[in-house]
Amino acid sequence: MVGFGVVGKGVATILARRYAEKVKGYGFNPKVVAIADIDGTVVNPRGFKPEKLEAIKQRGYPISADPDFGHPGMSALEVIDSVEAEVVVEVTPVNIKDAEPALSHITRAFKTGKHIVTTNKGPLALAMPALTELADYNNVYLRFSGTVGGGTPMLEFAKRCLAGDKILAIKGILNGTTNYILTEMSQNRVAFQKALKNAQNLGYAEREPSMDIDGFDTACKVVILANWILNKKITLKDVSRTGIRNVSLQALDKASKRGNTIKLIGSINGEGATVKPTEIPKNNALCVSGVLNAVTFFTEFAGEQTLVGRGAGGMETASAVLRDLLDIRHKLASKVFT
Ligand SMILES: NC(=O)c1ccc[n+]([C@@H]2O[C@H](COP(=O)([O-])OP(=O)(O)OC[C@H]3O[C@@H](n4cnc5c(N)ncnc54)[C@H](OP(=O)(O)O)[C@@H]3O)[C@@H](O)[C@H]2O)c1
């Protein structure tokens, strides 16, 4: 595991809490053999016991200071090169300038024959077509269900449940922070700056909120949906993007008089990929409030299918990592590379 923050620790908690269940229910017996964060690593080729993972997680000092298994200064790349493992779980912070350090972790994992499960949108947003090709070339899997919808299985729903139908277009509220701000503005008549402050105080928005409010986060998710579901080989630069900074209370009032409201909508259809504040009917299935996310798949035969859920959260996103690990295990068991 590379990165041991909110999501990484969540994965450790889920593995510890549900270890016996997983072994019994799925014949799934995962062993965490190494964890790397920015200071160094802990390595145990025999696999850490769940209680040891919990203990490492609870401590306040760097994981590499562990007296039994710590390697201060050992980098994630060194671990990926030297430790025997089937999968690398990449959960380092997002970076949409050059996707590092995650991009290097992912490509190194592929080159050493390891599958990747990641919740990090950066590498996918900037290089998804190349990364899926590299995974295929190296005969390994790249899974990333936590990148869109957090714990809500939006990618799996479209890929599996709608298999056999044709998805023609996708539209969604894919960012909880902007949805919270727009909900505050429309339902409580709070001005944009005040709503942003509230979101920051509640921990929904970063101190530097551009990633959310300028629509970058939604655009990253649009790229992932477009590649994975619609087979469109696009990257972040192909998404036309407008954030919510200029949405006014007056515009929301006018929309309201028409029975509508304004949401930050990411969409992909025959005309391209866009992110922009969009007027939608209040009674539309997509029109969810607060930090909720929602996505509608427009299909040829099954009509419109909308999925709603919490789009982030450490444990929710960690549950998506486990889902991906199980998926890889099933695939390996049946030895099908798709
Ligand atoms: N949290 C969520 O609800 C959520 C939801 C969906 C997706 N995600 C995505 O999941 C990823 C992880 O999120 P998070 O909330 O767990 O982030 P986080 O709490 O900031 O944790 C990131 C971890 O990565 C480590 N790290 C940073 N640079 C590193 C490097 N060069 N080598 C190895 N480790 C490094 C950090 O170490 P230090 O602590 O020592 O700096 C920390 O352990 C992000 O890409 C995020 O966008 C998160």
Which pLDDT score, from 0 to 100, does residue 216 have?
A: 98
Q: Within this chain, do residues 136 and 202 fall inside the same structural domain, yes or no?
A: no
The model's confidence at residue 28, banded by pLDDT at 50, 70 and 90, is: confident
Residue 60 pLDDT class (50, 70, 90 cuts): confident
**How many whole angstroms from 206 Cα to the centroid of ligand 1?**
14
CA 105 to ligand 1: nearest atom: 32
Whole-structure pTM value: 0.96
Residue 284 has pLDDT above 90, yes or no: yes
213/6 Cα distance (integer angstroms): 22
Q: Is residue 300 part of a domain?
A: yes
Residue 48, in any domain of the structure: yes
Residue 203 has pLDDT above 90, yes or no: yes
Band (338; pLDDT cuts 50, 70, 90): low
Which atom of ligand 1 is closest in space to residue 4's alpha carbon? Answer: 43
Amino acid at 78: E
What is the CATH classification number for the domain harbouring 208? 3.30.360.10
Residue 36 near ligand 1, beta carbon < 6 Å:
yes
Question: Considering its fold, how many domains does the chain have in total?
Answer: 2
The answer for residues whose C-beta is within 8 angstroms of residue 201's C-beta and 6 or more apart is: none
Closest atom of ligand 1 to CA, residue 101 = 31
My answer on whether 107 and 167 are in the same domain is no
Q: 285 CA distance to ligand 1 centroid (A)? A: 32
Q: Are residues 138 and 158 in the same domain?
A: no
| Ligand 1 contacts CB of residue 314 (under 6 A) | yes
Q: Residue 141 belongs to a domain with what CATH number? A: 3.40.50.720
Do both 187 and 323 map to the same domain? no
Going by alpha carbons, the residue nearest to atom 34 of ligand 1 is 37
Do 50 and 139 lie in one domain? The reply is yes
Q: How confident is the model at residue 19 (pLDDT cuts 50, 70, 90)?
A: low
Closest C-alpha to 4, from 45, 50, 41, 48: 41
**SS3 label, residue 201:** helix
Do both 158 and 175 map to the same domain?
Answer: yes
Residue 289 domain-assigned? Answer: yes
Residue 137 covered by a domain: yes
Catalytically annotated residues: 221
Looking at the predicted structure, is the pLDDT value of residue 25 above 80? Answer: no
Same domain, yes or no, for 117 and 28? yes
Nearest Cα residue to 40 out of 76, 8, 80: 76
Nearest CA owner, ligand 1 atom 18 = 5
Q: Whose CA is nearest to atom 41 of ligand 1?
A: 38
38 lines ligand 1 (CB under 6 A): yes
Contact between residue 48 and residue 32 where contact means Cβ atoms under 8 Å apart? yes
Tell me the pLDDT of the chain averaged across its residues. Answer: 94
Same domain, 265 and 124: no
What is the Å distance from ligand 1's center to 159 Cα?
Answer: 27
Q: Is residue 126 part of a domain?
A: yes
Q: 43 - beta bridge partners?
A: 34
Q: What is the mean pLDDT of residues 53-59?
A: 85
Position 51 in a domain:
yes
Residues 318 and 284 in one domain: no
Query: Both 163 and 305 in a single domain?
Result: yes
| Domain span holding position 227 | 154-309
Tokens matching residue 280: 């939608």
Q: Is 7 in the pocket of ligand 1 (CB under 6 A)?
A: yes
| Statement to judge: residues 220 and 165 lie in one domain | yes
Answer yes or no: is 210 within a domain: yes
Question: What is the three-class DSSP state of 25?
Answer: helix
Average pLDDT estimate for 154-163: 93
Tell me how far the alpha carbon of residue 93 lies from the centroid of ligand 1, in angstroms: 4
Q: Which residue has the least CA distance to atom 8 on ligand 1?
A: 119
Q: Are residues 92 and 228 in the same domain?
A: no
Residue 1 lies in a domain: no
Q: What is the pLDDT of residue 333?
A: 86
